Amino acid sequence: MGGYIAQRIGQALLVILLAYTAVFLAVQALPNDPVTIFLSADSSADPATIAQMKAYYGYDQPLIVQYFTQLGALLTGDLGYSLSSGSAVSTRIGEVIGSTLLLAGSAFALALVLAVALTAAASLSRRPRVRNALLNLPPLMISIPVFWLGLVLLQVLAVQLGVMSLFPDGSFLSLAVPILVLAIHLSAPIAQVLIKSVHEVNTQPFVDVLRAKGASEEWIFYRHTLKNAAPAALSIAGITIGTLLAGSVITETVFARAGLGQLVLQAVTVQDIPLVQGLVLLTAAAFTAVNLLVDLIHPKLDPRIITSHAGSPRALAA
Amino acid sequence: MSLLTERGTPAVELATGSALEPEHGATPKTTLLGWLRNWWVLLPLALLLAWAVLPGLFTGQDPLTGVPQQKLAEPSLAHPFGTDHLGRDVYARVVHGTSQTLMTAGLACLIGSVVGSLLGLLAATAGRFADSVAMRFVDVVLAVPAFLIALILVTATEPGPFSLGLGVGIASIAAFARLVRTEVLRVRSRDFVQAALMSGGGYLTVLRRHIIPHVIGPVLALLAVDLGAAILAISGLGFLGFGSPPPTPEWGLLISEGRQYLTVAWWLTTLPGLVIVAAVMLTAVLGRAINKAFRF
């Protein structure tokens, strides 16, 4: 068990280091350095100013020095300085991250609830029609663009019915609707995997034994099937973190909420590369951390993972 | 960090929604007649393609210049999707925007499938070291959301269909690499491949005649699904303003422009959005059909 945990943590750190390297190399591969690109929008910038700013931010150093200086700073939590505002990237992210965490966290929790509810309804329904309709819901939910769903809901709720405002005003609906939009988008892949996994568990002999003993369908589902099907859904839930972040950016734009989304858009629009770089690293780290957590919870749900000696702890989760 | 399973990837089944199909016993429907049974998917897809290739056949209206007197008109027989703030026909803009969206999505799929398949093939056949290197690379691509990869490219270069397609394409490399690697590993250990290698077949010959035919089905199915995902990603980025600049009629941009008139004209956002939903669903159903057709 100890070896397994150490191996997982080591791999997670390696992925973050590689992500940092990849982003660093990608920035170097650009035709110009970040300062020149940032100032290119301003035609009056003279070469002396550019050189001075490059020296100030350290972009005139040899590549290898830049690589290790930035890496060292990163280890102390320093993500460099935003070119557009001059303040630290970590400060700018810290200012808005709370709002995004609230949105993304609630949406993620709601997505899990929605996925389980949908699976339970589809598995326990005795009417084939209702069942088929429920089984076809996830593929439909996956095909709906987040921004469109948000706009249609705004159209109906704010314009037609007038029960919510077009801009965030702190009311319950102005927080609940964005969370719901994001959660619907997020729950589709989780529900798909959970439904498939429940279906597979149901074909196993122990379910027949339970039924023969007189257990009700509800008892079998909640007490046995769901428990056995959970690991697969947990894996996919970890992977949806990437989707969650992209979805948050779009949702925040549609509902005019402040947050990381607005910061990303601002950074891209003014071509503030250090800020974009910091946001990408933060996202990669968040994704890796959540998936590390999933890997660590996995053996608790299914102890066979450790003993199977498979390359992946999720070899049994398929 | 292996995010999906080493054996039997659920990725394509997940994506195509074929989760509940029986594993065996389904007769392969590779015949033309079998394909025609899917006419209700193929026909709308053909219509979309026709919109992209020959938009002029389907609408007589100009997508770029409108009639100012008819601005913000509700959907009617003359304007099925209504008109926008400049009096341009929204249906004409959707039809003319198809080629823009499909070409960017197609570019993304092409990059993702070709690079991803080669990487997966390399990982599965070129030894342990190549496998580790390729799969760690895939892990890194997976760790950065597709959306951000596209954003980095757009930041560094200038917004436009090419950088958008490239960014979304790079992000979809990972799925193809994983799928191809798993499938090739599965086939490679089978007796007939060993037999072909032992009877003197070269690497490329065995690959072409014995391995690729077994791998091509899932890859084509993923390709169809990936096209849908790319359309979603590209319209999302277009909505944020990182695609072609206005007045190009791109689907995401259309909705983004319509957003400013949300209070007065519901059709500007709702109707183009329905076209996106339909297009993405069609690719998902197509992926499911391909998956079924190639299952032996």
Residue A160 has pLDDT above 90, yes or no: no
Give the count of beta carbons closer than 10 Å to the beta carbon of residue A169: 10
Contacts 24+ apart (CB under 8 A), A82-91: A82/A267, A82/A272, A82/A274, A82/A275, A83/A34, A83/A35, A83/A38, A83/A57, A83/A270, A83/A272, A83/A273, A83/A274, A83/A275, A84/A38, A84/A266, A84/A267, A84/A270, A84/A272, A84/A275, A89/A274, A89/A275, A89/A277, A89/A278, A90/A278
- Token reading at A259: 């947050």
Q: In this predicted structure, what is the pLDDT of residue B115?
A: 92
Average pLDDT over residues B153-168: 78
| Yes or no, beta carbons of B140 and A15 under 8 Å apart | yes
Q: Closest chain B residue to A238 measured between Cα atoms?
A: B3
Q: Which of A137, A143, A302 to mutate against chain B (most B CBs within 10 Å)?
A: A143
Q: Please count the helices (runs of H) and the strands (runs of E) in chain A.
A: 15, 0
The model's pTM is 0.79
CA–CA distance, B137 with B132 (Å, rounded to integer): 9
Is A265 at the interface with chain B, CB within 8 A? yes
Q: In this predicted structure, what is the pLDDT of residue B13?
A: 43
CA–CA distance, B146 with B103 (Å, rounded to integer): 18
CA–CA distance, B196 with A28 (Å, rounded to integer): 46
- Token reading at B157: 């270069």
- Coil, strand, or helix at residue A81? strand
* ipTM of this complex: 0.77
How many Å separate Cα A196 from the centre of its chain?
A: 22
CA–CA distance, B198 with B210 (Å, rounded to integer): 13
CA distance A29 to chain B (A): 10
Q: In this predicted structure, what is the pLDDT of residue A309?
A: 45
Q: Find where tokens 């500007």 sit.
A: B268
Average pLDDT over residues B142-160: 74
Indicate the burial class of B128 (C-beta count within 10 angstroms; 0-12, 13-18, 19 or more).
exposed
- Residues of A within 8 A of B155 (CB-CB) are 267-268, 271, 273, 276
Chains A, B: CB pairs < 8 Å: 183
Taking only the tens place, the pLDDT of each residue in A92-113 is 888 888 888 888 899 999 999 9
Q: In this predicted structure, what is the pLDDT of residue B205?
A: 84
